[in-house]
């Protein structure tokens, strides 16, 4: 009852996420899908939640100015909507941080990008890759080096994307020289770069998860079984040569 008394609940509100999902399925550009979803959400808020917008805007009347201010405040600032229910209000269920709530994560992403760019430009990444490749003599060694590099970058570069892109560039030629198909490198990057980012509290992935869940990284890390086991399974598969595809070269026609 508290939700229905506070908001105008109708199945028509599902139109917004459905439109976004359809655009994603049809492989629309991410910025386009986000922009359309944001605009539609603002329009639907004006149509179905005018009272809420007036509260957010701090206005007693609904007009263009209050509607615009309410939508922009909801998108950019921290918003809290009291419902009159003691339990819901105590847990601040109807609250959102907007873009303001994500600024700490954005700063971390920017710092990680700057750090990674500097490391690449001064040649530090190339030096690291050359050292690791000199040790990776076997196929298993190559997989192990790639896995270790991804985890290393998640812990030092503090950004998931750098932990995927940089090792991918570093080991692309090495996988080709070993006669290994590109999907082996791609799978290793995902298994060790993508999933381990949330295990580091200073990484953008860990910071986002901790901020979203409201749980410290050190508390949930021991329950992230998939993230902990995934790199190990990659090494096991590489050691026993399971699902390791070879590079197929097309013979030139005579």
pLDDT in tens, the chain (254 residues): 667 777 788 899 899 999 999 999 998 998 899 899 999 999 998 998 888 888 888 888 888 888 888 888 888 887 877 767 666 666 666 777 777 777 776 776 677 667 767 877 888 777 877 787 777 778 899 999 999 989 988 998 777 888 888 888 888 888 988 899 999 999 999 999 999 999 999 888 898 888 878 899 999 999 999 999 999 999 999 999 998 999 876 554 44
CA distance linking residue 229 with residue 221, whole number of Å: 12
Contact 138, 124 (CB under 8 A): no
Contact 234, 187 (CB under 8 A): yes
Residue 205 C-alpha from the chain's centroid: 6
CB neighbours (10 Å) of residue 182?
Answer: 13
**Given the structure tokens 């090494």, which residue do they identify?**
235
Q: What is the pLDDT of residue 252?
A: 42
CA distance linking residue 221 with residue 243, whole number of Å: 28
**Given the structure tokens 């808020």, which residue do they identify?**
45
Q: What is the pLDDT of residue 25?
A: 92
Name which of 156, 248, 240 is nearest 203 in CA terms: 156
Q: What is the pLDDT of residue 44?
A: 92
CB neighbours (10 Å) of residue 57?
Answer: 21
Q: What is the pLDDT of residue 254?
A: 42
pTM for this model (two decimals): 0.59
């Amino acid at each position: 009852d508290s939700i229905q008394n506070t908001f105008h609940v109708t199945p028509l509100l599902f139109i917004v996420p459905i439109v976004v999902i359809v655009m994603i399925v049809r492989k629309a550009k991410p910025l386009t899908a986000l922009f359309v979803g944001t605009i539609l959400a603002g329009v639907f808020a004006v149509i179905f939640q005018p009272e809420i917008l007036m509260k957010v805007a701090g206005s007693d009347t609904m007009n263009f100015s209050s509607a615009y201010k309410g939508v922009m405040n909801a998108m950019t600032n921290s918003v809290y909507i009291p419902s009159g229910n003691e339990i819901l209000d105590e847990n601040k269920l109807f609250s959102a941080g907007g873009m303001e709530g994500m600024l700490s994560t954005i700063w971390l992403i920017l710092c990680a990008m700057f750090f990674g760019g500097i490391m690449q430009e001064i040649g530090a990444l190339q030096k690291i890759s050359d050292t690791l490749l000199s040790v990776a003599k076997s196929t298993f060694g190559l997989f192990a080096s790639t896995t270790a590099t991804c985890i290393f970058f998640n812990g030092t570069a503090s950004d998931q994307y750098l932990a995927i892109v940089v090792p991918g560039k570093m080991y692309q030629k090495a996988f080709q020289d070993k006669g290994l198909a590109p999907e082996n490198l791609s799978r290793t990057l995902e298994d060790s770069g993508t999933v381990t980012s949330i295990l580091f509290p200073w990484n953008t992935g860990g910071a986002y998860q901790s901020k979203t869940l409201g749980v410290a990284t050190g508390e949930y890390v021991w329950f992230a079984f998939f993230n902990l086991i995934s790199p190990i399974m990659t090494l096991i598969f590489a050691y026993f040569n399971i699902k390791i595809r070879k590079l197929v070269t097309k013979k030139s026609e005579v």
